[in-house]
A and B are shown apart, each in its own frame.
Chain A
Amino acid sequence: MSGEDAIAKQKQMTIIVTKGALDLAYPPFILATTAAAMNVNVSMFFTFYGLQLLKKDLGHLRVSPLGNPAMEMPLAGLHLTVPNAAAALPGMEALSTTLMRNLIKRKGVASIEELREAAIDSEVEMIACQMTMDLFEWTAADMVEGIVIGGAATYMEKALKSDINLFI
């Protein structure tokens, strides 16, 4: 396919990002960056807890085993599950987050910071939901640079023209 054909046939994808936990931040950023690498024009719409992923600093992202029976952490050849009663104890969220961050590093999995940077580099459009920002009292100054702020109509315009629309 020549360069001109590639542009003429450029596919589009949108992703609605609604989750802000450390683990659930992966699927939207992995798909967005990979799609962009495969010449897809990508827009991400961050709403409710997903908006956490646009904060300037991502060090606050956490993961919790609470209410997640599918979370099994590999530890010394075993897979560790935490009962809800224990997962609710103070410090368990911080511990799970530390374990997860270490695991991510050890397995050569990119950090969310790295993936977001890659998304920005590859010109993935990131739209912050204005209503969510008003609701939780965040301003543009809290967010990473280069994002667009908009609402449902901004998203819908993109979605109607896209080949793939995902809700994560």
Chain B
Amino acid sequence: MAELDARGLNCPMPILKAKKALKDLAAGDTLKVVATDPGSVSDFSAFCRTTGNELVEQSEENGVYTYVIRKSA
């Protein structure tokens, strides 16, 4: 699984970097993103709903948010 460290970055960089990372993946591949921006909770859901990518998993621990996104076709 590809990984993206977006810790310390503020809006809109986690989304922009995730988009860029997804570009390099094949359909069906997954990307794990870690972020510290609390706004990313709402943003990654909205991003995935709009782009058709699947938000497979999301969790939070001590202010670090983890997302697993599966790339759509």
Chain B residues, CB < 8 A from A114: 13
Range, interface on chain B = 10 to 19
Give the distance to chain B from A62, nearest Cβ to Cβ, in Å: 21
The interface stretch among A30-38, A46-54, A79-87, A137-145 is A30-38
Interface assignment of B28: CB less than 8 Å from any CB of chain A = no
Interface assignment of A2: CB less than 8 Å from any CB of chain B = yes
Interface assignment of A1: CB less than 8 Å from any CB of chain B = yes
Establish whether residues B73 and A34, one from each chain, have CB atoms under 8 Å apart when the complex forms. no
Chain B residues, CB < 8 A from A2: 72-73
Q: A1-B72, A3-B73 are in contact. Are A34 and B50 (CB under 8 A)?
A: no
CB-nearest residue of chain A to B72? A1
Establish whether residues A108 and B8, one from each chain, have CB atoms under 8 Å apart when the complex forms. yes
Q: A2-B73, A3-B73 are in contact. Are A34 and B51 (CB under 8 A)?
A: no
- B51 interface neighbour in A38, A108, A109, Cβ under 8 Å: A38
Chain B residues, CB < 8 A from A118: 16
Interface assignment of B38: CB less than 8 Å from any CB of chain A = no
Give the residues from 1 to 43 in chain B that come closer than 8 angstroms, CB to CB, to chain A: 8-13, 15-16, 18-20, 37
Establish whether residues A109 and B72, one from each chain, have CB atoms under 8 Å apart when the complex forms. no
Q: How far is the CA of A3 from the CA of B23 in the complex (A)?
A: 13
Q: How far is the CA of A109 from the CA of B11 in the complex (A)?
A: 7
Interface assignment of A107: CB less than 8 Å from any CB of chain B = yes
Binding site for A on B (CB under 8 A): 8-13, 15-16, 18-20, 37, 47, 50-52, 72-73
Cβ-closest 4 pairs across A and B: A37-B19, A1-B52, A108-B10, A34-B12
